[in-house]
Amino acid sequence: MSEVEAVERVEASNGWGVLHLFYAVDRERAAAEPGAAKHVVDAIAAFTDDEHQVLTFTVLGHKADLGIMALGPDLARLQQLQHALTAAPLRATWSYVSLTEGSEYTTTEDDERARLAAEDGITDADEVEARLAVWRDRMAHYRENRVHPRLPVKQTICFYPMSKRRDGDDNWYSLPFADRKRLMGGHARVGRGYAGRVLQLITGSTGLDDWEWGVTLLADDPAALKEIVYEMRFDEVSARYAEFGPFVTGLVHEPAETLRRVGLTA
């Protein structure tokens, strides 16, 4: 029987489930169980298919030895993977649960039409429609990547949870929607400046875990992880309205290599 048994699917009406799992190696058990890495490798292999993806990484620092990021539409399958990993000599140090989601602040077609007129001076109906056709294709691709991402293999990963502040005059949720959308537009422009260098996956966890969002950053250059977070700290959305949880950074490898680097062999 496979490490991840078939169970009744549990799917969200919108978005895929995302699990960030962090473990320390139980050295005593590992020494007594040669070949223990096979439990993890088999569980990941059984979980992974066209819809369900896994990234494994060795963690820098002492918050964990290794991390596993798993995502896909079936939450029951995610839970079965989590359970299957208990067969390995691993001790859970932290976990985070979220769902992929689109952004409520995404630019609308009316917004883009107004921008074409105000910034580019384009009002001719045919030219506006041609520009909007390109914009629609780009936005469809953006929305699909937000909700149904395909994770590239980069060399480094950083994960952290965050929430919007609710403190007196700095209460994000007391702002009118138009103000929140304007502020998030500026925040997004900072992020777009790192296109090609940093892949950003923002997943929602309100009502699912202790914070409101999980942020996963993937990059080949670890300095880019530091730079994007630092630059965004000066944006008003972060400087005034954001609260951050713990940061975990790691080096991404194939599962067997990740396990080898933390002392587990197949």
Residue 55 CA to its chain's centroid (Å): 11
Catalytic residue among 23, 105, 142, 160: 160
Residue identified by tokens 């994960």 is 159
Neighbours of 78 (CB within 10 A): 23
The Cα–Cα gap between 95 and 83 comes to 13
Pairing of strands 17-25, 199-204: unpaired
Neighbours of 118 (CB within 10 A): 9
Task: Fill in the amino acid letter for 209.
Answer: D
Task: Fill in the amino acid letter for 57.
Answer: F
Q: Is 241 a catalytic residue?
A: no
Which residues, 6 or more positions from 195, have their beta carbon under 8 angstroms from its beta carbon? none
Please give the structure tokens belonging to residue 188.
């997004």
The Cα–Cα gap between 88 and 26 comes to 9
3-state helix, strand, coil in the chain (%, to 5): 40, 25, 35
Short-list 134, 145, 233, 238, CA closest to 195: 145
Q: Under DSSP, is residue 132 helix (H, G, I), strand (E, B) or coil?
A: helix
Residue identified by tokens 């001076």 is 121
Which residues are catalytically annotated? 160
